[in-house]
Structure 1
Amino acid sequence: MSERRPPLLAVDAPSLYFRAFHGIPEKAAQTKAGEPVNAIRGFMDMIAQLIRTRRPDRLICALDASWRPAWRVELVPSYKKHRVAHGDVEEVPAALEKQVPVLLDVLAAVGIPAFGVDGYEADDVLGTLAATQPAPVEVVSGDRDLFQLVDDERGTRLLYCGRGVAKLEDADDTLVRQKYGVPARWYADFAAMRGDPSDGLPGVPGVGEKTAARLINRYGGVEHILAALDDPDNGFAPGLRGKLKDSAEYLGRALPVCKVALDVKLPGFDATLPKAPQDDEKLLELAERWNLAGSARRLVDALAGPSDQGAPLRG
């Protein structure tokens, strides 16, 4: 029996750096000049921990090139509307916004690819990686929408960090069923019916998680449920039948919004996880300038692996 290949870690970078920013007080992680680096330090430490514990041979960080894609807004105009600062720009704390370019410089110095694709969110990049890259693939995110990517047969799992990287939920299809009562392949349909206020998706009035799960388990996805409405023998309560019929147009538009794209044209990349920083002089420079020495050391040690801890960061 062949040994299981190490996984590709496909990391939802915005999910992790937002979590780091809000989880570490700004005053606890600053430069000598008082500039906050809490998001950078926290992100670096989370990546180091993931490398130590998951032992991947490949790692990619996905970014939001288009945080609120026009094609999703055209389908559901309320999509993420409440989180817009101005125009079509996401409301991001200024102290975090200033840290993101530095964080990307750190990843480049280490040799970890980080990219987004115009017209798509990080979720879509992650979905395409899960669908196209050699298995196993472990998607790392605190976004529950990505439960839809779990695929036991293909070897795709979600490392859900809703409670932090230290308390990851290693999600297979069984765990998704336990949490939501539906198989992972129907999670997007479940989310479209249930709705998600955090994304500006209203859902079907009067249909919560339990009703959505019950309908999916009986009929299948949204298309199957709507098709079943026309059969008087299918056992819908009159009130529920009416709510679903009234929401049919909305569901037709919301489902593609909730579904993660699996066919995004990705740029060229080398996902191979380096054993040492690609540019250790640049990493040393960043560590000194931004007071990141401890986090840089932990990340370098994680890259080196358990047999080579403490390899010097040359400068």
Structure 2
Amino acid sequence: MLLDTASLYFRAFYGVPDRSGPGETPRNAVTGLVDMMATLVETHRPSGVVACWDDDWRPAFRVEAIPTYKAHRVAEGSVHEGAPGGAAEEVPEALSVQVPVIVELLAAIGVPRIGHAGFEADDVIGTLTTRAIQAGRPVLVVTGDRDLFQLVDDAAGVRVLYTARGGVRGGDVVDERFLRDTYGVDGGAGYADLALLRGDPSDGLPGVKGIGEKTAVRLLEQYGSVAALQEALAAGEAPAGALGRKLAESGDYLDRARPVVLVARDIPLEGPVDGGVPEHVADPAALARLVESHRLTGVPRLLTALGIRP
């Protein structure tokens, strides 16, 4: 089970009431994440869990390709080491103070937290999914981000639990049939091609001007893939009329957008990451301190779900 961790703690922050008292650090994102993880493990019984991390929420290589990438999320006047242009993501203060607690808590329990400099959690998930496929291990990706639908692969046992609608309890389990029924595309690769053509305003990706989802699906049905469509364009076999003109006017957008849309599958994560569940709490003293100081009453349930000893 690969967790898009920021997606989950953002959801917890906005969905769980904060019951911290005066002078206390807010804890709704922390307690919500703990509850979500416990529910996920109880429901799906994974052989292992990895908390995938955004070491860089807006990687330079994506910004260089498409300067508008996530530009609307940059906090005005922010400075954040390692972020393109010294820009930090706009995050409420009541959430930002909880992120270090989440980091400490995962470390104390012993749940692997994996990130890599210059890459997003999506890229970590893409790389770990690829490693799991090579090892013959099924994967469940947990996220509220449609970008990761591109990883869906029935033959390899890769599915996505999409939490944006229904949360971790009632979210959609995305497989190839879901992608066909919902978007009219074949598999994860088809969804990636759809995203290339259509764009995604939530990430600042414009797509090919004038081409929406229905037109993109029609093009993919006709040509099979964006690569085949580009070959047809290069051979002077573009669709007729206004659609052909829109594609011609898009210039090199599809080539520039490809590394932005496609998650990395081979980033150099250090050491083997098998995603196994720890047999015991990594740091009992640190865990006890965090539970007491932040009143994390849900932690015992998570430990029980994981089957690890305190």
Q: Scaled by the length of structure 1, what TM-score is found? A: 0.89
- Equivalence for 1:120: 119
The 5 A counterparts of 1:4-153 are 9-26=1-18, 29-31=19-21, 33-85=23-75, 86=78, 87-133=86-132, 134=135, 135-153=137-155
Cα offsets for 1:177-220 (capped at 9, x unmatched): 11111122121221121111111011112211111111112212
The counterpart of 2:289, out of the listed 271, 285, 291, is 285
In the alignment, the residues of structure 2 paired with residue 154 and residue 105 of structure 1 have an alpha-carbon distance, to the nearest angstrom, of: 33
Q: What is the aligned partner in structure 2 of residue 253 from structure 1? A: 256
Q: Contact (CA 8 Å) 2:140, 2:160: kept in 1 or not?
A: yes
Q: Does 1:191 align with 2:195?
A: yes
Give the CA deviation at 1:96: 0.7
Distance 1:165 1:148 in 2: 20
Other structure's SS at 1:132 match: helix
SS of equivalent to 1:120: coil
Distance in 1 between the 2:300 and 2:154 partners? 35
- What is the one-letter code of the residue matched to 1:103? I
Q: Deviations over 1:229-261 (max 9, x none)?
A: 356767x23100000111131111012210010
Q: Structure 1 residues 189 and 233 mapped into 2: Cα distance closer, same or farther (>3 Å)?
A: closer
Write the distance in 2 (CA, Å) between the matches of 1:197 and 1:277.
42
The equivalent of 1:156 in structure 2 is 158
Distance 1:233 1:150 in 2: 31
Partners of 2:6 and 2:244 lie apart in 1 by 39
C-alpha displacement of 1:31: 5.0
Deviation at 1:162, TM superposition (A): 1.2
Instruction: Choose the corresponding residue for 1:222, options 219, 223, 226.
Output: 226
Whether 2:266 is the aligned partner of 1:263: answer yes
How far apart, in 2, do the equivalents of 1:304 and 1:203 lie?
Answer: 46
Residue identity matched to 1:298: R
- Local SS of the residue matching 1:281: helix
Q: Is the 8 A contact 2:25 2:97 kept in 1?
A: no
Aligned partner of residue 11 in structure 1, secondary structure: strand
Give the Å deviation of 1:228.
1.9
Distance, in Å, in 2 between the alignment partners of 1:74 and 1:273 is 38
Q: Partners in 2 of 1:25 and 1:247 — Cα distance?
A: 46
Gaps of 5+ in 1: 1-8, 306-310
**Count of residue pairs brought into register by the alignment:** 295
Find the partner of 2:307 among 304, 308, 311. 304
Q: 2:177 aligns with which of 136, 153, 174?
A: 174
Contact 2:25 2:98 survives alignment (8 Å): no
Please, what is the CA RMSD of the aligned residues?
1.8
Aligned equivalents of 1:77, 1:280: Cα separation in 2: 45
Give per-residue Cα distances to partners, 1:75-108, cap 9 Å, x unaligned: 1111111111133211111111110110111111
Secondary structure of the equivalent of 2:252? helix
Structure 2 unpaired stretches of 5+: 79-85
Check whether the contact 1:31–1:291 (CA below 8 A) recurs between aligned residues: no
C-alpha separation in 1, matches of 2:262 and 2:236: 30
CA contact (8 A) 2:68 2:205 kept: yes
TM superposition shift of 1:33: 3.3
Q: Distance in 1 between matches of 2:284 and 2:174?
A: 35
Partner of 1:158: helix, strand, or coil? strand
Question: Aligned to 1:248, what secondary structure does the other structure show?
Answer: coil
TM-score (norm 2): 0.90
Letter in 2 for 1:110: I
Partners of 1:158 and 1:104 lie apart in 2 by 24
Find the aligned partners of 1:233 and 1:128 in 2 and give their Cα distance: 36
